[in-house]
Amino acid sequence: MTNQSVNLRLGWYNGLMLGVGLAIGAWAPELIGLGGAPVRWLYPALVLGMSLVTLLGGLSGWLIARIDSALAGGVIGLATAMLATGVIVYLPFEGRTLIVWLSDRRFWGLPVYPSESGLGSVFAGLFPGLLLVLLGILQPYRLEGAQSALTSEGRLTPRAWLLLAWPMALAVAAGLITDDMKNRALRMPVQIVAEAIGAGRTYQGNLFELSRERRVNYNAIAGVRAQMSARYSLQVVEIDTRNETVVVGAHFDNGAWIYCRVLAFNLSYCYDASPPYTRGFAATLTGEGLDDCQACTLRVAPEASAWLQSHRSQLVGQPTITFLAQGGRYVWMRAAWPGGDSAIECLFSGARSIRLESCRQSP
């Protein structure tokens, strides 16, 4: 085995270890905090993010070893840090949107979780950037030391592994800092809602007193606790980073459907999410039934209004409304009329202000 091939192999291993360390720091808190919660698309997002960052690290280490230049190592390290930080920062947005698209084609092309860029993303990449630039510059010298610790057959000894692996601890720390600066604000609301539902749903005592004891506003679920069942799934519905507000949705196997609003890591309140999508939708189709339901109000996009008006002759009578699917801020609902000959599917958007976007004939 030539020195060049050995160097490339060591560079690949070195980069993979850095990528794994960065990935562990960036997503271990999410795995620990949400691993036991029934969060939709959690594990596909984690696998996607960790795989991309690990692969970026491996390719970076291999490329630096191939060029074998300290200057090039610094440049490649900076580029790798920028790409890896982009994956970490935008995975909760574009990454999660891609997973929703692949999971349910009805949401394909919709901006399920639109990202909001800002200075926070730049600062979040500062520590990984400094670290990977420094390690990129030092890699040629570090690999020389690792090569000297190989066996005569070119195999890695424990000392060689140690020389390659020790920067992983720094990469984990950089990943943790990036997570704390960007992703914690998106992870904690889901964790708080999962805690409130899990502990508060069956609690027999006073929820206010429990809230004071554990510093979680369990009282926020008091109005909807009777609707909840033991099995449910959670998903982020809407993210407003400017106002530090995240809306988390919970779907229960008994048909209950609630939204919980978390403001700056504090659970504000939870409420029945279904009225606009059910009674409000039915009233929009029939033109009646909203007088006694302020929570049923929804807006109708001009395109949806025009479509419904053009099909008005087919939509006669009281429809049966059923939930089809939800991906973040978008929801598909179905309306069917007696006889089964007429049915439509309509797309809704938003959480705090529900809007009927479009409709189509149900297949």
Tens-place pLDDT, residues 67-97: 988 999 999 999 999 999 889 888 888 888 9
What residues does each domain of the chain span?
Answer: 3-185, 192-272, 274-361
β-pairing, 343-349 vs 232-240, is unpaired
Instruction: State which CATH number among 3.30.70, 3.40.1360, 3.10.450, 1.10.10 fits the domain covering 274-361.
Output: 3.10.450
Three-state DSSP class for residue 227: helix
Distance CA 192, CA 207 (A): 15
Q: Both tokens of residue 183?
A: 């992703």
- Percent over 70 (pLDDT), the chain: 96
- The pTM for the full model equals 0.86
Edge-to-edge strand ranges of the sheet holding 355-361: 299-300, 355-361, 343-349, 330-336, 320-327
State pLDDT tens for residues 13-32.
Answer: 999 999 999 999 999 999 89
Q: Please compute the mean of the pLDDT values over residues 271-295 and round it to a whole number.
A: 83
Let me know if 164 is exposed, middle or buried by CB neighbors in 10 A (0-12, 13-18, 19+): buried
Question: Is the pLDDT at 119 greater than 70, yes or no?
Answer: no
